[in-house]
Amino acid sequence: MNILVSACLLGVRCRYDGAEKAHPLIAALAERHTLVPVCPEQLGGLPTPRPPAERRGERVVTETGADVTEQYRRGAEEALKLCKLFDCQAAVLKERSPSCGRGQVYDGTFTGALTTGDGVTAALLAAHGIPVYGESQIPELLEA
């Protein structure tokens, strides 16, 4: 199966802070499936590093109040194009991210508080019928 994967989970230094979040089970996932890396924020035109951003309803704003919703939407559209181009049957995305979070994201107060919701990319992929998993669900994909 082809799986779209947040590039930071693969060890790419593309997170807002210039870091990565390599997941210990990603190599095992790559042995069983073809992984297609994606960083929606970069695809949307945002630099690395970049100011932290969080969801506020339908908007995405930085800690200083700049609205970066359009860049997040553009990145989500590009991620969807990659998903279709490589015929990905699922996506494994970085949990809690304003782009990639599925089920819970930071609430826009920059206090570390979580709220129910999806990141912009996760929501778009799901709306197009692509199953979206967070990195904590990788074990489930390994059993499939």
The pLDDT, as a whole number, for residue 124 is 98
d(CA 43, CA 83): 13
The pLDDT, as a whole number, for residue 130 is 98
What does pTM read for this prediction?
0.96
Residue 92 DSSP SS3: strand
43-98 tens-digit pLDDT: 999 999 999 999 999 999 999 999 999 999 999 999 999 999 999 999 999 999 99
Quick check: 144 pLDDT over 80? no
Beta bridge partners of 96: 105
d(CA 116, CA 141): 23
DSSP secondary structure code for residue 55 in this structure: E
6 with 92: CB under 8 angstroms?
yes
Q: Where are the alpha helices (DSSP H) in 44-114?
A: 69-85
88-143 tens-digit pLDDT: 999 999 999 999 999 999 999 999 999 999 999 999 999 999 999 999 999 988 98
One-letter amino acid for residue 94 of the chain: K
Residue appearing with tokens 């990788």: 138
136 with 26: CB under 8 angstroms?
no
